[in-house]
Structure 1
Amino acid sequence: MSIKTLGTREVYRNPWLRLREDEIERSNGARGIYGVVDKDDCAVIIPIEGERIYLVEQFRYTIQQRCLELPQGGWETADIDPEELARGELREETGFDAATMTNLGMMYIAYGFANQKQYVFLASGLTHVGTDFDAEEHDLTLHSFTIAEFEEMLLDGTIRDCCTLAAWGLYKVWKEKQK
């Protein structure tokens, strides 16, 4: 390991994340600090039915904008089954149950400062059963687009969410390998 942790202290905590500051020593002997955001695992779901994909739109406080993105989120619970989480988030945000959930892989959202894992699932065989929003999602709306429209929004900057972009890239590679 090229960086050794000498000590750690929690700087901040809320129900969604913990922020810690680690005292470190690099392999060259230089000492410093490293800020780390600890967050529980989450999931991003690609709900596709035929040639249509479903996105959610919600207000993102950090950038003060409403944003279109794939359904995604976490439950602030450690050690949860990724598929159970993905199914729950899909139902919560879109109102859909999926006959099939295909695990496409795992990615780190921003490992330069956070250790959160995000599991990517393809949801198919969708049945609308009703939404189950949590309090933070009261303004969330569901939208349906053709895949061509969705991909154009990725290219023209309408959709800028890195999790949506990365999940779609993983899906496209997976789909190509299915041929």
Structure 2
Amino acid sequence: MPTDPLAWETHDRDVAYSCPGFDVINESVRLPDGTETDFDYVSEPASVCILPFTPDGDVVCIEEWRQAVSRVNRGLPVGGTEPDDDDLEAAARRELAEETGHEAERLEPLVTVEPANGFADSVMHFFVAHGCRPTAQQQLDHNESIRPQTMAFDELLDAVRDGEIRDGRTVLAVSHYQLLAGETET
């Protein structure tokens, strides 16, 4: 039980709604001032996002239809972990292959974030993949419409800078990667 004076006390927890990919959780809580109320949040398995570089230094991106915003979104391969994943790297390798048909020679962790911890328990693990080559066909889920494409990293960085790419996971991965690259140059 948390001991911080800001902590909420949870009395009851129910799954209010469940669908493939996430649950909506309803909790009865007591706030630090004694107020009792309900709190709802989205619960989902951990996810992985991959920044995949080809041997030539280009990035393997995807274009994907996103129903929630009614448009094609350009970004990076992303997907949830599954119970049979041995570890996070295995999940990243699987998602890269499924969404793009590419396999990486090596992966390295980039950063782990909680992208929306005000209303979701989501945890996203970012990886940089090196030496990515097309080795197979895509194996898309039934509800995925994805077109892989490669682009120069500088072009991707410019698209993030200019606000052309709005996918938060891609913006975070590219920005964090560029931030780390700047740190190694100083």
TM-score normalised to the size of structure 2? 0.88
- The counterpart of 1:142, out of the listed 140, 148, 166, is 148
Spell out, residue by residue over 1:95-115, the C-alpha distance to the aligned partner (whole angstroms, 9 max, x if none).
Answer: 111001011121112111111
Q: Quote the residue 1:114 is aligned against.
A: 120
Give the gaps of 5 or more residues in structure 2: none
Spell out, residue by residue over 1:13-49, the C-alpha distance to the aligned partner (whole angstroms, 9 max, x if none).
Answer: 1221111111111111122211111100110000112
How far apart, in 2, do the equivalents of 1:21 and 1:31 lie? 13
Local SS of the residue matching 1:110: coil
Tell me how many residue pairs correspond in the alignment. Answer: 178
Q: Quote the residue 2:65 is aligned against.
A: 59
User: 1:40·1:78 contact (CA, 8 Å) conserved in 2?
Assistant: no
| Matching of residues 1-179 of structure 1 within 5 Å | 1=4, 2-49=7-54, 50-77=56-83, 81-130=87-136, 131-137=138-144, 139-179=145-185
Give the gaps of 5 or more residues in structure 1: none
Q: Which has the higher strand share?
A: 1
Counterpart of 2:124, as a letter, is: Q
How far apart, in 1, do the equivalents of 2:130 and 2:85 lie? 25
Local SS of the residue matching 1:18: strand
CA displacement at 1:77 relative to structure 2: 3.2
How far apart, in 1, do the equivalents of 2:82 and 2:109 lie? 20
- Of residues 156-165 and 168-177 in structure 1, the stretch that sits farther from structure 2 once superposed is 168-177
Local SS of the residue matching 1:150: helix
CA displacement at 1:164 relative to structure 2: 0.8
| CA pair 79-147 structure 1, distance change in 2 beyond 3 A | closer
**Cα RMSD (Å):** 1.7
Counterpart of 1:97, as a letter, is: E
How far apart, in 1, do the equivalents of 2:119 and 2:47 lie? 16
User: 1:41·1:78 contact (CA, 8 Å) conserved in 2?
Assistant: no
CA displacement at 1:145 relative to structure 2: 1.3
Q: Percent identity?
A: 25
